[in-house]
Chains A and B, each alone.
Chain A
Amino acid sequence: MGAFLRRHRGLTPYLLLAPGLLWLAVFYLGPSVQMAVSSFWSGSLEKGYVFSFANVTNYTKALTRFEPQFLRSILYGGAATILTFLIAYPLAYAIAFRGGRFRNLLLFLVIAPFFTSFLLRTLSWKIILGDVGPFLGPLKAIHLLPDDFRLLATPIAVVSGITYNFLPFMTLPIYVSLEKIDFRLIEAAQDLYANRFGAFQRVTFPLSLPGVFAGSLLTFIPAVGDYVNAELLGNPDTTMIGNVIQNQFLTQNNYPTASALSFLLMAGILIAVVVYARLLGTEELTAGGA
């Protein structure tokens, strides 16, 4: 082994990469290709499927039939991304610049919710936001809210559920980019007569933008594809594209339509990733900033 490697130095990286990349090729790339093929199928699970490019109508039919769900997913995902940004930025800022010796503890507390099941956390929100729950119950008791007011089964509940779930995805990249900032740059801005708000506006915030972009991508992508929050906290009028895909795949067994829908979702995301890579480069993607 050692002698072989000495003779073929250049091979080492490829030998290290091969097993993992092969796994991803077979079980990530392979299924993606299969899904592309399936989206051009016609037929049914019982009678068998036929491939034809004429079945591009699967896409147009899926888009027109499920347009409301697509639009709703983008709307909910976008709203949740903006909300996570508004909540996460001050938090990341506080940890990076005011954390002091509590910095690691605070970072740990940000990711600690991940150690509980995602489903159980979402179910907890169902309890908290419940019609007579600990949040609405007291407000109704003192007649600040009408008795029939509810949060559960509304778009507000779905968006706040998504916001909660992906908050750490936004906080950590912003923290990483804030923490990297050379403090002397901020001091220099102040020496050059910028007040503290000006220094933040002109120096700190622009330097943290890579983290904001990474965090937005990491939040928006899973948020658009999410269906558990809409399922557990929403109602039939808040279904997102994920609910449709899940239903078409697992209940209707309508693989062609479901594949076309997944592929449309995936295509939108690929465009977002490519734009990101063009703007900020590929090294940032896996270098630990994300």
Chain B
Amino acid sequence: MAVLTLVARRLAAALVLLGALSVITYGLLVASPGGPEQVLLGTRPSTPETRAAIRAEYHLDDPFPLRYARWLGDAVHGDFGVSIYSREPVADVIADRLPVTAGLAGYALLITFAVGVPVGLVAAMGRGGLLDQGITLGSLVLLAVPPFAMSILLLYGFAVTLGWFPVFGAGETFAERVTHLTLPALALAAAQGAMVVRQMRAAALDLAGQDFLTFARARGLPRARVWIGYALRNAALPVLTVGGLLLAANLTGALFVEQAFGLHGLGALLIAAVSQKDIPVVQALVLFSGAIVVVVNLLIDLAYLVVDPRVRHGAVAL
């Protein structure tokens, strides 16, 4: 029952969120100077007829509420319109870009966890030691390097100077995809991995003082076994939360990394669409991102329900 209530409440909240997001972005784009006709016609003389035809086609002279209502009506039916720039259906434009962004996000998350969790554990196990201090400082530094600077440095070092990786693009086949996305994924994972290291270390240290760990140690279980077995399971929730939020952030567009590595993902699309006043694309992207955030948050909450019986039985309010 608790699950159903939770889901229903979240969905209602999601609708409000998406509604608010779409009104805000639509309003902002409409209010901003310049319109798609400037993008479409470029710096080239145009006939008044052409301009009128474009204004009519995109209903640019209708009042804002009417335009928004028209857009909303179509969107509710799953029709997000046609990109002003490429004249492709917006759904296709996004579907075209999604694999790149999703691949990058997944790859980065994989690295983040595969490195972050064990390193965080190691730091916690050697609390206060030289290794711990080194790891803590190192993760702070990684957190402080701007992602775009990290991209530039990786790009220059590993792709240009050493020539180990391709410089741009996402590749076609799976193997190509992996090689092409390795550096961007590393650039993304650097700061995020550092975040997970800190989270994992803190969570593990929290547990270190607790009874069941002392008890397990007293039972004579090997140190590593105790840490990995117990601490990992109990640190799972906070780390899962961080992971979910990172995934949501990466899926909504790793702007900097995509820009620096010449990846045609959702982040690069957003930047282009905003500057082209491609309202249908921006709208769909904003809604898509909002939906991802909502879904990820919901999944995190459900995970809590599954993992933690106290939450499941409604003892802890969400």
The answer on A and B forming one complex is: no
B residues sitting closer than 8 Å to A (CB atoms) are none
